[in-house]
């Protein structure tokens, strides 16, 4: 296999020499490093690389190389190598280029920007390059396979397990049940009859249609917990739950986190979060979750993954959680951070195709299978916008279906601008999905326009991001919720507390109608549906946990 290419352009010969030295010295063993003073020559090289099917990992350019601007070069290069990371090189404190960077990031013309290396040992430069290579390699280079999965390509359970593997950031390879490779693997392990999907772990262990809990045990967790009395039990390992785990455990609280799927929650399925503090070029939800998960573990937080909480009850000063496998967890306090799920369409023909072309979230898992396809996406929030831009890297065309009159009411401005600047993303306003069909997978959608006309359109896939459904149906009636199921806390409980609650105080901010039980993140009534807001709520909740425990 030919080495992937790192290509850089700079019109200043001396600076280009430093760039070439630094890139070659650090990355020359694994990558082919090409540096050119001319954008025209570089484009000819890129065309030749495309003709011999050689991958390009990173494209660096100064803003003012000869013949054309850096942005113009990157746009032309992107047509030839759409999966390469596009990086604008800039001088430190170059304000003119800084304005260009802001515009280019806003419109999605570049993936990142990097200050030019000043010479040897410029670790700031290399840390940025290493991060860019990690992002590129995750989607474009094979990793050691932790699992081989064989199943029906258009099966809801296959999709669910692939999505779970992606959330764990686990490397795996999927084989269609009908393929020769898939049949050979099944015969080798004696599982030709399933049940499917079948997973073969690197150590030879075979999982036949495993539950989420079995996958969690195989990959990341113990089958048991330490037990005893915890200071804090957190339900949900999304941004709010992970934040609470980091702050709670770091401040000396004996902490356990229960998560029914995998760390990251809904945010863990987001391909790129651009407006999160400290990540100017953006960060994937998986990467952010992985960092927070490891951080919480380092502070001593326990995790109990792949398990559902089914009951919550008060027993004196203790709060008792009962899990779906019968395990009980006793804690002095609880934070409910279960987050939300995307609402279902409720259209029988499309529900029957869930996982077979109709996906609730799941863009990271399914995007590469959409190469050259025409796909649709329902939704008008930030998650829908991020998903549309990610799918646009692979699909021939992405159509965003919006029931309202604009995106401005529910989507961040930077995403709207990127969508407007992306040629293969179309936005259809005043459009409603009313049906769809397909033999074994989705083939067509039926849309209703503003004039109530029905239109049938061919569709390879539909990704659904239409509002939030909180995971609160399992909670006892003693925990008050609004009409949509979101948990009421603090002052929102005024006049709603049950008659049997005998306390000499009002609920603390973020405390529910059950004393000692708090709520944080998207599951809380009137919360701000943003990752940073959820992280903030998780940290703030710990302040009130301390206050509550201090007065027990």
Together in a domain, 94 and 18: yes
Do the Cβ atoms of 314 and 299 come closer than 8 Å? no
- Same domain assignment for residues 42 and 133: yes
* pLDDT range class, residue 269, cuts 50, 70, 90: confident
At 503 the pLDDT is 60
Q: What is the pLDDT of residue 18?
A: 96
Helix (H, G, I), strand (E, B) or coil at 474: coil
Q: Average model confidence (pLDDT) for the chain?
A: 90
In a domain, residue 362? The reply is: yes
Distance CA 11, CA 59 (A): 15
Query: Is 197 a residue whose pLDDT tops 70?
Result: yes
172-179 long-range contacts, CB within 8 A, separation 24+: 172/145, 172/146, 172/147, 172/148, 172/199, 173/145, 173/147, 173/148, 173/149, 174/149, 174/150, 175/148, 175/149, 175/150, 176/150, 176/151, 176/152, 177/150, 177/151, 177/152, 177/153
In this structure, the answer to whether residues 104 and 189 fall within a common structural domain is no
Tell me the pLDDT band of 100, cut-offs 50, 70 and 90.
confident
Non-local (6+) Cβ contacts of 402 within 8 A are 379, 380, 427, 428, 429, 430, 431
Provide the pLDDT confidence category of residue 332 given band limits of 50, 70 and 90. Answer: very high
Residues 6+ apart with CB under 8 A from 240: 335, 337, 339, 520, 521, 522, 523, 534, 535, 537, 538, 541
In this predicted structure, the answer to whether residue 509 has a pLDDT above a threshold of 60 is: yes
Edge-to-edge strand list for the sheet holding 432-437: 432-437, 444-448, 454-458
Which pLDDT belongs to residue 362?
A: 75
> How many structural domains compose the chain?
4
Rounded Cα gap, residues 105 and 279, in angstroms: 13
In the prediction, which pLDDT does 371 show?
87
Q: Cβ-count burial of 477 within 10 angstroms (0-12 exposed, 13-18 middle, 19+ buried)?
A: exposed
Q: What is the pLDDT of residue 80?
A: 95
How many CB atoms lie under 10 A from the CB of residue 401? 23
**Domain region containing 462:** 348-466
Which of 440, 445, 438 shows the shortest CA–CA distance to 459?
445
Query: What is each CA distance from 38 to 4, 15, 70, in whole angstroms?
Result: 21, 14, 11
In a domain, 112, yes or no: yes
- Sign of the four-CA dihedral 205, 210, 214, 218: positive
pLDDT, average across residues 29-43? 95
Q: For residue 157, give the CATH number of its domain.
A: 3.40.30.10
What CATH number does the domain containing 539 carry?
3.50.50.60
Q: How far apart are CA 329 and CA 326, in angstroms?
A: 10
Burial (0-12, 13-18, 19+ Cβ within 10 Å), 171: middle
Instruction: Quote the pLDDT of residue 42.
Output: 95
pTM for the whole thing?
Answer: 0.82
Specify whether 245 is located in the same domain as 335: yes
In a domain, 40, yes or no: yes
CA gap 278, 81 in Å, rounded: 29
HSE-up of residue 314 (Cα within 13 Å, Cβ side) = 15
pLDDT, position 93:
65
Count other Cβ atoms within 10 Å, centred on residue 373: 17
For 174-189, the pLDDT digits (tens) are: 999 999 999 999 999 9
End-to-end CA gap in the chain: 65
Give the per-residue pLDDT at 79.
Answer: 92
Structure-block tokens of residue 226 = 């330490």
Calpha distance 92→115 (Å, rounded): 6
Per-residue pLDDT, 368: 83
Least confident of 45-49, 118-122, 375-379: 118-122
pLDDT reading at 30 higher than 80:
yes
Q: Are 441 and 155 in contact (CB under 8 A)?
A: no
Instruction: List the beta strands (DSSP E) in 2-141.
Output: 5-9, 32-36, 56-62, 85-90, 112-115
Question: Which tens digit of pLDDT belongs to each residue from 463-475?
Answer: 999 877 899 999 9
Whether residue 329 is found in the same domain as residue 401: no
In a domain, 222, yes or no: no
Q: Nearest 5°: phi and psi at 537?
A: -65, -40
Q: Mean pLDDT throughout 77-104?
A: 84
264: number of Cβ within 10 Å? 29
Kindly report the CATH number assigned to the domain that includes residue 85. 3.40.50.2300
Q: What is the 3-state secondary structure (H, E, C) of 325-365?
A: CCCEEEECCEEECCCEEECCCCCHHHHCCECCCEEECCHHH
Q: Which residue has the higher pLDDT, 271 or 421?
A: 421
**Cα 101 to chain center, whole Å?**
25
**Closest to 106 (Cα-Cα) out of 526, 495, 419:** 419
CA atoms within 13 Å, Cβ hemisphere of 61: 31
482 in the same domain as 333: yes
pLDDT for the residue numbered 281: 77
> Does residue 119 register a pLDDT over 60?
yes
Read off the pLDDT of residues 198-244 as tens digits, 9 standing for 90 and up: 999 988 899 999 988 888 777 655 556 888 999 999 999 999 999 99
The answer to whether position 379 is within a domain reads yes
Kindly state whether residues 459 and 355 are assigned to the same domain.
yes
Please indicate, yes or no, if residue 101 is contained in any of the structural domains: yes
Using one digit for the tens of pLDDT, what is the confidence trace for 288-312?
999 999 999 999 999 998 888 999 9
Same domain, 242 and 308: yes
CB 88 within 8 A of CB 100: yes
Mean pLDDT of 434-456: 92
Percent of the chain predicted with pLDDT > 70: 96
| 373: pLDDT strictly greater than 70 | yes
- Residue 336: per-residue pLDDT: 98
Interval 449-465 mean pLDDT = 93
């Amino acid at each position: 296999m030919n080495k992937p290419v790192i290509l850089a352009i700079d019109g200043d010969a001396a600076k280009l020499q430093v760039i070439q030295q630094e890139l070659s010295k650090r990355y020359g063993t694994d990558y082919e490093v090409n540096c050119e003073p001319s954008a025209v020559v570089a484009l000819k090289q890129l065309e030749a690389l495309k003709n011999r099917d050689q991958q390009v990992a990173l494209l660096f350019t100064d803003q003012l190389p000869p013949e054309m601007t850096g942005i113009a070069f990157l746009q032309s290069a992107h047509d030839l190598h759409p999966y390469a990371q596009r990086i604008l090189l800039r001088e430190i404190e170059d304000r003119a280029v800084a304005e260009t960077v802001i515009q280019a990031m806003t419109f999605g013309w570049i993936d990142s920007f990097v200050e030019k290396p000043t010479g040897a040992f410029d670790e700031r430069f290399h840390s940025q390059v290493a991060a860019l290579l990690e992002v590129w390699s995750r989607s474009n280079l094979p990793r050691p396979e932790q699992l081989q999965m064989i199943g029906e390509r258009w099966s809801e359970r296959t999709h669910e397990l692939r999505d779970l593997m992606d959330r764990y950031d686990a490397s795996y390879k999927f084989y269609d049940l009908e393929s020769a490779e898939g049949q050979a693997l099944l015969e080798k392990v004696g599982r030709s009859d399933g049940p499917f999907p079948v997973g073969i772990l690197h150590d030879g262990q075979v999982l036949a249609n495993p539950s989420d809990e079995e996958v969690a045990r195989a990959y990341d967790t113990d089958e048991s917990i330490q037990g005893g009395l915890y200071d804090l039990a957190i339900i949900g390992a999304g941004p709010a739950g992970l934040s609470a785990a980091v702050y709670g455990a770091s401040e000396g609280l004996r902490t356990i986190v229960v998560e029914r799927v995998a760390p990251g929650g809904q945010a863990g399925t987001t391909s790129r979060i651009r407006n999160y503090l400290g990540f100017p070029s953006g960060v994937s939800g998986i990467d952010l979750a992985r960092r927070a998960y490891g951080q919480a573990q380092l502070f001593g937080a326990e995790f109990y993954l792949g398990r559902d909480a089914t009951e919550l009850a008060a027993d004196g000063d203790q709060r008792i959680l009962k899990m779906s496998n019968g395990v009980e967890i006793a804690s002095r306090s609880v934070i409910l951070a279960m987050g939300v799920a995307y609402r279902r369409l409720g259209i029988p023909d499309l529900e029957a195709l869930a996982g077979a072309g109709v996906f609730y979230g799941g863009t990271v898992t399914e995007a590469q299978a959409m190469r050259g396809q025409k796909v649709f996406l329902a939704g008008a929030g930030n998650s829908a916008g991020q998903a549309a831009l990610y799918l646009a890297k692979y699909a021939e065309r992405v159509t965003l279906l919006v029931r309202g009159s604009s995106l401005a009411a529910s989507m961040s401005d930077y995403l709207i601008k990127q969508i407007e600047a992306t040629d293969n993303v179309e936005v259809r306003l005043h459009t409603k999905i009313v049906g769809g069909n397909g033999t074994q997978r989705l083939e067509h959608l039926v849309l209703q326009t503003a004039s109530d006309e029905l239109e049938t359109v061919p569709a390879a896939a539909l990704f659904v991001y239409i509002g939030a459904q909180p995971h609160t149906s399992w909670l006892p009636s003693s925990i008050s919720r609004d009409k949509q199921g979101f948990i009421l806390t603090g002052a929102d409980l005024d006049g709603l507390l049950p008659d049997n609650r005998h306390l000499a105080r009002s609920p603390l901010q973020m405390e529910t109608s059950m004393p000692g039980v708090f709520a944080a993140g998207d599951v809380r009534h009137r919360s701000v549906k943003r990752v940073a807001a959820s992280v903030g709520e998780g940290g703030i909740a710990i302040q009130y946990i301390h206050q509550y425990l201090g007065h027990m």
